[in-house]
Every structure is written in structure tokens, then in C-alpha cells.
Amino acid sequence: MDSTLKRTWAEIDLDALAHNYKTLRDRIGANVKFLGVVKADAYGHGSVQVSRLLQELGADYLAVSSIDEAIELRLNDITMPILILGHTPKEQVSRLIEYNITQAVTCKAKALEYSEEAVKCGGTLKIHIKVDTGMSRLGYLCDGDYFDTGVEGICEGCSLPGLYAEGIFTHFAVSDEPGDACKAYTEHQFQLFTDVIKSVEEKLGRRFAIRHCANTGAVARYPETWLDMVRPGLLLYGYGEFADELGLQPVMSLKTTVSTIKTYPTGTAISYGGIYVTDKTTRMGVIPYGYADGFFRALSNRCTLMSDEGPVPQRGKICMDMCMIDLTDKMQIDVGSEIEIFGKKNSINVMAALANTIPYELTCAVSKRVPRFYYRNGKMIEKELLLRG
């Protein structure tokens, strides 16, 4: 569906994405595989477009959350390996095999179900074993008293008919957090993971083709954890403190335009609840960007957007479809003037910190009614609106 209205839009800089990929690829070296995490529509950036570019650039694997996300990529000519990190019902095993999709296996019960279904349909399902080393979410429990039973369970899963255990992986909980305690916890997770791998491989008499555990924090801070493949997420899209340190570039810029400007006298309450009252004659702009577009209402009266003349503070409570910005000292900004919500001129990291969250949550929150414009070599090559036509 094409939008007839340039209201609020996201610009996706594929050149920045390519730069980030190449920078990270140079960092990890030629002998380590690169998995691009493209779940949740590539964190709001567009999974098909991002995956297309990663495939072109020579990435080795993609990761998604569900079979629906994986098949969407297959139906859009993405042929490279895809790993589903989340749960897939056993009834979908035949489709996993049909579309050549790799499935994470997180416990004995799922391994048995997947094996049974794979045998029924006469195929082989490629799997990656998930080990819970301290994230306390998904995976075979292997820490402490669970080590022996965990290793035994993994070996059993790897030996079941209809399954090919290509890989084994875990997920770090605090590799991106500072401090000695977080460093020690990450090192413990990594040591446990390598101990599990050693025991399983000895019992099976073979080596896993792909061992992986390095997420964004580990790619930036713990090179010893890179093993056979890394899984940068936040880094790939150019956000967070590590991105700045490594010279990466933000991929998404979210923009809007001024739709109305009014001048109010001193003492005028702005928006719902009147939490902001003008303290002088104030030139106030209205922009069509609200919480239905992904602007967290918790940021009301707290954040700053960017105009061609510099920063403009957001005023009053954020509404569903719009909000107000103070243009009192920005006399050249008029109706139709462009405003950057976040991007290259207005760091998403600042807005995320104000909302006490991570940049991912802000990019994922950009709603489907916000069209995405894709740029390569400085020119728009594609646009996409997720609303049904």
C-alpha cells in the first residue's frame, strides 16, 4: 500500500547498514561466521530489506523469532540459512523442513516432538541446541547440579532420528552491562557453555559445526566468546554505546513535519492535563507524531526533537496522533518544515535513556502506519507501508 500523505516516516539508510556489517565483519575476522538478527521486522527496520542486503553482503545466517517471520523471508527470495530462536509448534515441523529453516531446541520434550514429526514426514530437521547458562529463559539447564542431566539430555536430543544438530548456542544476560559483577557473570556463563560443549562433543564423538554465544555486548567486549559465529543485534543497526565506540552508524532516522503553528500568551496550558503552561508568549508547533506512531507517552514534556535551526523541546502530554513542540526561538521553522525525531542529528540513545529503556524498544515501537523509505547510494530505492491496502 502506498501512502498518499507524507505525515511521519522512517528513513532506512542501507548504506549505513552495509557500513556496520563490514565494520563488524572486519572486527571478527574471516574465520568467524556472521548471524544477523532480523526478528521483529528487523527491529522495525524491515526484515526483508535488511535480509536482502545481508545476503548480498555475504552474511552467513539470519535469526528470527517465529516460523511466520522465517517463511516471510523465504517467500521474498531469502535463501540463506535462517534460525528460529523461539518456539515452533510440532505441527509445523514439515514446513520447517520444506522451507529449510533451522529450529532452536530448548528441552527434551521439544526434541522428542520434533524428532517424531520429522520421522513422520520423512525428512530431516536442522536444529541448534539452546543451553541455559544463566539467562533463565529458554534452554537445557546445565548449571551446578543440573550439569550431568543437562549434558545427557543434549546428547539424547542430538541422537534422535530425523534431527541434525548443526549447532549449539547460549545467550548472555549481562555482557553489555558494566562492572566487575557483570563481567564475572558473563565469564561464568561462557565457561559453563564451553564445559557443556566439551562434555557433549566427547560423548557424541563429533564436533558441532557451529557454536555461538556472542551477542552485541560480547562482540564489543569479549572476543574470546566469538567461537564459530557471532550474533550482533543492536550493533548491526548502529545504536548503543558500543556502536559509538566502534564507529558504527544509526540505520533508522524517524522524521515528521510541522502541520500547524499557533502563538499562545503567557499562562496557556498545553495539551491534556495541562502539565506544561507557557511562561511567556510562545510559538507552538503541532507535529503528527503521537503514541500510536510509537512515541512513548512517558516522554511527555521531557524530550527534545531536532529542527534545521537546532533542538526543539516537546511540550505537554503526547497525544495519540500528535504532539506539540516549542518553536519560540525558531522563527524560520514553518508549516511543512522537517523535524527529526531521532536519527543522525538527534541520537536515539538520548531518548531511550530518558525513557529508561533501550534503543531497540523505540525502533520496534515505530508503528505500521509509519511508512519506511529505503535509501541506497543516497537515493530512495523502495518504500513500504505496512497498513493493509
Three-class secondary structure assignment of 124-189: CEEEEEEEECCCCCCCEECCHHHHHHHHHHHHHHHCCCCEEEEEEECCCCCCCCCCHHHHHHHHHH
Q: Is 137 annotated as a binding residue?
A: yes
Beta-carbon contacts of 64 under 8 Å, excluding residues fewer than 6 positions away, are 38, 39, 47, 70, 73, 82, 83, 84, 85
Distance CA 323, CA 222 (A): 42
Catalytic residue among 39, 110, 126, 130: 39
183 is catalytic: no
Other Cβ atoms less than 10 A from the Cβ of 145: the count is 8
272 is catalytic: yes
Q: Do β-strands 310-315 and 323-326 pair in parallel, antiparallel, or remain unpaired?
A: antiparallel
Q: Which residue type does 267 have?
A: G
Beta-carbon contacts of 328 under 8 Å, excluding residues fewer than 6 positions away, are 280, 281, 282, 283, 284
Catalytic residue among 120, 146, 272, 383: 272
Q: Is 320 annotated as a binding residue?
A: yes
Binding residues: 137, 320
Q: Give the residue numbers marked as catalytic.
A: 39, 272
- Residues at the binding site for substrate are 137, 320
